Homo-oligomer: A and B are copies of this chain.
Amino acid sequence: MEKDITIYDIARELDLSPTTISRALNDHPAVNKKTKQRISEAAAQMGYRSNLFASNLRRQRTNTIGLIVPRLDSPFHSSVIAGMEKVANEAGYNLIISQSLETLQKEIANANTMFNSRVDGLLVSLSFETETLEHFENFVSKGIPVIFYDRVAEHKECTSIVIDNLQAAYKATSHLIEQGCTNIVHITGNLKRNVYADRLKGFKYALIDHNLPFSEENVIISKMTEEAGTLAAQQILEMDPLPDGIFVSNDTCAVSCLKALKKANISIPRDIAVIGFNNDAISRVVEPNLTTINYPGQEMGEVALRVLLLQLNGSRDNVPSNTINLRSELIIRESSLKSKSNAKKKAVHL
């Protein structure tokens, strides 16, 4: 637990000034090559490590990016984070991560921590409860870029990164209709969140465009968890007549719903066709395999971070555009194929 070596120690050792040490270690051009060499050797030999805090304090930036996510233990968010970490790491940024656990209160607390930690930029996917973006105003007014991804909200100064949820839902619903479904249930999450509101819209528009009636009773709002899927299935089993198709806003919930329906001797897709959302691993395992929307989590994470880096390094108004749409696609599997003749898998690019 000996004392840390500083650039002063190296300076003294080599009979140079701390300035030169600092410059050499930062590869400043105006330092003699031989001197640089000597310095970096001495630094290594003396066990020097730079003090990021002192550096941060001096330079007023942290090389740290904050991330607030609803839950860490979700396949989608895991892959997003994996993508973010990869890009951040390559660019020499640290990622500090916290979860709101879907509550506004924790989201606010986390935002404040991030603010005090003086992150250079902030990435956010909103909680279920969030209604306003007040708790991010601190950042905005200080010129700290905030980027929303997936669960986003409109803000004049902030970029959002999403997929076209409306269109994805429209395609999924249309696919069900093409398979002969006329009475479709939609299970989705809190409508405060764009992802669920947009999917509901896509669902509704698809029905309307195909001259099918839209009824509020066919929309089930749930927490989108495994348990919620089971509950939704019970609710559906009590419907009379039974629906002939279900479009669920995530795979976790879709799969547990599908399982519960099967247990009740409903044949999938013959009696009821099912479509999920996300293309989690689970969707390729359930029987029948689940038709779903492929959702590019890792890519979304990478893009979010790249855009943030652009905003950090480039000119302040280098924002590519206010909203970035990533491509998603409908992956058709057995769970929605009523007409077995179509049974070859095909991917419809949105």
Residues of A within 8 A of B (CB): 1, 49-54, 56-57, 62, 64, 71-75, 77-79, 81-82, 85-86, 89, 94-99, 106, 110, 113, 115-118, 138, 142-143, 226, 252, 255, 259, 281-282, 285-287, 297-298
A259 to chain B, nearest CB (A): 7
Q: Are B73 and A82 in contact (CB under 8 A)?
A: yes
Q: Are B255 and A285 in contact (CB under 8 A)?
A: yes
Closest B residue by C-beta to A316:
B1
Take A52-B118, A97-B97, A99-B82 as given contacts and tell me if A142 and B1 are in contact as well, using a CB distance cutoff of 8 Å: yes
Q: Are A82 and B89 in contact (CB under 8 A)?
A: no
Q: Interface majority SS on A: helix, strand, loop or mixed?
A: helix
Cα distance A266–B189 in the bound complex, in angstroms: 40
The 10 closest A-B pairs by CB, nearest first: A72-B82, A73-B82, A1-B143, A53-B57, A73-B78, A53-B56, A73-B79, A78-B78, A94-B96, A53-B53
Cα distance A85–B71 in the bound complex, in angstroms: 10
Closest B residue by C-beta to A71:
B82
Residues of chain B contacted by A75 (CB below 8 angstroms)? 73, 75, 78
Q: Are A96 and B98 in contact (CB under 8 A)?
A: no
Cα distance A52–B66 in the bound complex, in angstroms: 15
Return 23 A-B CB contacts under 8 Å, by A number: A51-B57, A52-B118, A53-B62, A72-B81, A73-B78, A73-B298, A74-B78, A77-B78, A78-B78, A86-B99, A89-B98, A89-B99, A89-B110, A89-B113, A94-B96, A95-B96, A95-B97, A95-B98, A96-B96, A96-B97, A282-B285, A285-B285, A286-B286
With A51-B57, A73-B75, A94-B96 known, 16 other A-B pairs at CB within 8 A are A1-B142, A1-B143, A49-B116, A53-B57, A53-B62, A71-B82, A73-B298, A85-B97, A89-B99, A89-B106, A94-B98, A94-B117, A95-B97, A97-B97, A226-B281, A282-B282
Closest B residue by C-beta to A99:
B85
Closest B residue by C-beta to A72:
B82
Tell me which of B52, B54, B82 contacts A117 (CB under 8 A).
Answer: B52
Q: Chain B CB within 10 Å — which of A77, A82, A98 has the most?
A: A82
Residues of chain B contacted by A138 (CB below 8 angstroms)? 49
Residues of chain B contacted by A117 (CB below 8 angstroms)? 52, 94
Closest B residue by C-beta to A281:
B282
Cα distance A97–B81 in the bound complex, in angstroms: 10
Q: Are B116 and A50 in contact (CB under 8 A)?
A: yes
Closest B residue by C-beta to A54:
B57
Closest B residue by C-beta to A76:
B73
Q: Are B252 and A281 in contact (CB under 8 A)?
A: yes
Q: Are A116 and B72 in contact (CB under 8 A)?
A: no
Cα distance A34–B44 in the bound complex, in angstroms: 52
Take A226-B281, A255-B285 as given contacts and tell me if A53 and B143 are in contact as well, using a CB distance cutoff of 8 Å: no
Residues of chain B contacted by A110 (CB below 8 angstroms)? 89
A226 to chain B, nearest CB (A): 7
A179 to chain B, nearest CB (A): 23
Cα distance A244–B66 in the bound complex, in angstroms: 50
Cα distance A298–B74 in the bound complex, in angstroms: 13
